[in-house]
Amino acid sequence: AQKVTQAQTEISVVEKEDVTLDCVYETRDTTYYLFWYKQPPSGELVFLIRRNSFDEQNEISGRYSWNFQKSTSSFNFTITASQVVDSAVYFCALSEPDTGRRALTFGSGTRLQVQP
Amino acid sequence: AAGVIQSPRHLIKEKRETATLKCYPIPRHDTVYWYQQGPGQDPQFLISFYEKMQSDKGSIPDRFSAQQFSDYHSELNMSSLELGDSALYFCASSSQTGEVEQYFGPGTRLTVT
């Protein structure tokens, strides 16, 4: 069965610090998708990034970057030069479309507090 | 760009009452998902529909039912409400032939008293 683990419950940083959010996943499928979503205090869930299981290329998008390593089943997310507006709960999620499970399995979330 | 629309945004019901939540997906998205997020919890998948047919089922109680209509909007019907049903209910939509990421609506906050 699929499982997503976010070991960091809460992280507090000072503005302009870099912060990395960890995510470890379990799946038996060879084809799967990994996602990061942001949930600010207002409550909505905002899609941030997606990575396919067959593409381990790591990328940078603005202040966001991610490190996908199949060998360790990890999909870590880094925010560079954090800002107060980055304060939110961040969820890592997994879907396995080949087995019909397109629904997202979420981790328990990491609450990020960015202090001014 | 058009987003997922959910109504109502807030709903207060008493125990044993019924509630209906509505979801209007992003245009041209063919799949709708419902999730329930309890206080301090991660979202839990309830049920999904693809082209108006139920495509997958998660931890949806028997007291809940849902359907997708010909215009692709979806409704989640909840009966015999319990205090534990108080949560944020999200609808998300995606396209099975395009991008796989799900885009979420703003959620409906249901409070059962």
CA distance A19 to chain B (A): 21
How many alpha carbons fall within 13 Å on the CB side of residue B36?
A: 18
> Which residues on chain A are in Cβ contact (under 8 Å) with B42?
91, 106-109
In B, minimum Cα distance to A48 occurs at B101
**Pairing of β A24-26 and β A64-69:** unpaired
> Which residues on chain A are in Cβ contact (under 8 Å) with B103?
47
Q: What is the pLDDT of residues B73-101, one digit of tens each?
A: 999 999 999 999 999 999 999 987 767 89
Asked if the Cβ–Cβ distance from A103 to B58 is below 8 Å, we say yes
Q: Is residue A15's pLDDT more than 90?
A: yes
Rounded Cα distance between A116 and B18, Å, is 45
DSSP string, B9-74: SEEEE-TT--EEEEEEPPTT--EEEEEEE-TT---EEEEEEETTEEEEE-S--TTEEEEE-TTS-E
Side chain identity, residue B84: G
Low-confidence spans in chain B with pLDDT less than 70:
98
Q: What is the pLDDT of residues A16-67, one digit of tens each?
A: 999 999 999 999 888 999 999 999 999 999 999 999 898 877 777 899 999 9
> Which residues on chain A are in Cβ contact (under 8 Å) with B106?
43-44
Rounded Cα distance between A59 and A68, Å, is 9
> Which residues on chain B are in Cβ contact (under 8 Å) with A108?
41-42
CA B93 centroid distance within chain? 10
Rounded Cα distance between A109 and A18, Å, is 18
**Residue B67: count of CB within 10 angstroms of its CB:** 15
CA distance B35 to chain A (A): 9
**Pairing of β A24-26 and β A3-5:** antiparallel
Note the pLDDT of residue B96.
77
Side chain identity, residue A2: Q
Rounded Cα distance between A105 and A108, Å, is 10
Rounded Cα distance between B46 and B51, Å, is 17
Note the pLDDT of residue B61.
96
Rounded Cα distance between B30 and B28, Å, is 6
- The mean per-residue pLDDT over the stretch A104-110 comes to 97
Sheet holding B64-68, edge to edge: B5-7, B19-24, B74-78, B64-68
Rounded Cα distance between A80 and B83, Å, is 41
Asked if the Cβ–Cβ distance from B55 to A102 is below 8 Å, we say yes
Note the pLDDT of residue A97.
82
Q: What is the pLDDT of residues A60-93, one digit of tens each?
A: 789 999 999 999 999 999 999 999 999 999 999 9
Q: Which residue in the block uniquely carries the two structure tokens 């609450």?
A: A111
In A, minimum Cα distance to B102 occurs at A47
- The mean per-residue pLDDT over the stretch A91-116 comes to 92
